[in-house]
Structure formats: structure tokens, C-alpha cells
Amino acid sequence: MTTALPSPRVLPHPTRDEIRLESVLHALSDPVRMRIVSELADAEAVLSCSRFDLPVSKSTTTHHFRVLRESGVVQQVYEGTAKMNGLRRDDLDALFPGLLDALLTAARHQGARDAL
Amino acid sequence: MTTALPSPRVLPHPTRDEIRLESVLHALSDPVRMRIVSELADAEAVLSCSRFDLPVSKSTTTHHFRVLRESGVVQQVYEGTAKMNGLRRDDLDALFPGLLDALLTAARHQGARDAL
DNA sequence: ACCGTACTACGACGGCTATCGTACGAGTCG
DNA sequence: CGACTCGTACGATAGCCGTCGTAGTACGGT
């Protein structure tokens, strides 16, 4: 039987035109979230939340993924029990050409500096 | 006559290697501050604080300029009663190549979209 | 039916932030 | 000196944010 209730198995995303630069920058101004995005970009694939080894609790992880989704940086889809995450590269590149790549490069450079 | 003492009129800035990507992104995630930076980039010059027409009080303006300075985005120097602000383009470009331009372009694009 | 895994919802807590007004200091010009 | 401009400091306030733990739901396998 199909559940009558509107089970929130579908996650709300901003459309492309609803994505705001401020929100994207705010989302990426947290190191944990920037790390998620970097790993996602490196993987060039869709990853489940649990594939990330983050220095925070599970609740906090959920929170960070939601911020990334609501700001339009990632797309999330349920696949069984897992929630798969993908970078919204097309939308971001269309809206802010070159920005994502510059951010990823910047994060990588800073990571290299910190490792010294 | 040249002042002998390092007067308290000198403002603390982060050195180039102290500039953090997170801090820069956080600084730019506020619309008022992004606007300041955009105007500064357009002017390609050093501007006094009062040259900006911002939708906030004077206290708040001071606050925003301090955030920009402490994050390493702008440089501030007293010149008489005025405080002159300059974009730290060299440092930012050296640390995060292409990032500043991508951000400025993104802000301009979004501004154009909003104007419709 | 049961259990384990994956993620969420909720409430709490401490800290930061954007905002303001008022009062003040520093410099310039008459 | 006095008046004026530019910017600061301080205190207050309201709201958001990152963090957590606990309790709970959804799904898949045994």
C-alpha cells in the first residue's frame, strides 16, 4: 500500500535561478563543507553521505549537507537508505563561470600550504 | 615633521600567508561587503570609507570594513581623518589565482540578473 | 518478523554576527 | 579656541550557526 502521507523522500532544491552567490559563498566558508565539495569534485561522481570521513558527528554532517543542498551547491537524491550527493557543476558554471574551479584550486593550494 | 612613534593610527592586517580562504569567503558572503569590494574593484583606486553609499549605519559600516581588513581582502590606511581602502589584489591573486576575478564576475552577473 | 544501516528531527547550548545608537577621539579649517 | 567631519569604541539586542546527543523513521537483508 502506498503511504497516504507526503513522506519527505524528495528533497527540496533551489532551481538554478534561485541560487544566490551569497549563499554559495556562505556554504563554502565552512571548512567542513569546503572539504565535502573538494572530495566530491575529485571523485567526479555521486557519493553517499557516509563515504565522507568528517571530524564531526552524524547530526552535524546531516546539517552540513543540508546547507550545501539548500544553497544549490549539491544535489541530493535518495537511493535506498543511502542519500547520494552530486555537485551541481552545470548550474554553478552557468551562473558563475569559472568560480567553482577557482574555489577548488584555491582550496587545494591552501591545503598544500597547510601541509608544510 | 615625521612622527617618531608608531602611533595607534596603524591598523593590524594579516600578512599574506595568514590569509585564510574560509575567512575570505565568509567576508564576501555578506552582500554589503561584496558590494564594497565590487565598487573598490571597479574604481581601481583607493577610496575612503565615506565614498560608499551603503544601506547601513555608520557603526555597521565600520564593522564591515574591519571584517574585510581582518580577512585580508582590503588594506586600510589613515590619511588625515579619512581612512583609505584598497583591494589587496596582489596578495589574493598570488594566493588564490583567478578567484577574485571569478568572484567579481559572479557578483556582476548576479547583479544583472537581479536588475531584470 | 527481526535487525542493522543510513539518515533525520528535535531540542539544547554556546558562540558568533549584523545591526543600531550614543558617546568619544583625531584631524582640519576658520 | 571652536566647530565640523570622519571614523571608533562600547554596549545592547536579536538572530543565526555549528555542534552535540537522543530518539526516531525508512529501507534492505536474513
- Digit-coded pLDDT (tens) for A65-114: 999 999 999 999 999 999 999 999 999 999 999 999 999 999 999 999 99
User: How far is Cα B105 from Cα B66, in angstroms, rounded to an integer?
Assistant: 24
For residue B105, give the nearest of A20, A23, A98 by CB distance.
Answer: A98
What pLDDT shows up at residue A8? Answer: 59
Distance from CA of A76 to the nearest CA of B (A): 23
Chain A residues whose beta carbon lies within 8 Å of the beta carbon of residue B22: 29-31, 34
Residue B89 contacts strand C, CB under 7 A: no
Q: Average pLDDT in the B53-81 region?
A: 97
Identify all chain B residues contacting A22, using CB atoms and an 8 Å cutoff. Answer: 29-31, 34
Count the helix, strand and coil residues of chain B and give each as a percent rounded to the nearest 5: 55, 10, 35
Distance from C-alpha of B60 to C-alpha of A115, rounded to nearest angstrom: 37
Report the residue of chain B nearest A111, measured CA to CA. B21
A75 sits in which H/E element: strand A74-79
Distance in angstroms, CA of B23 to C1' of D9?
24
**The pLDDT value given to residue B8:** 57
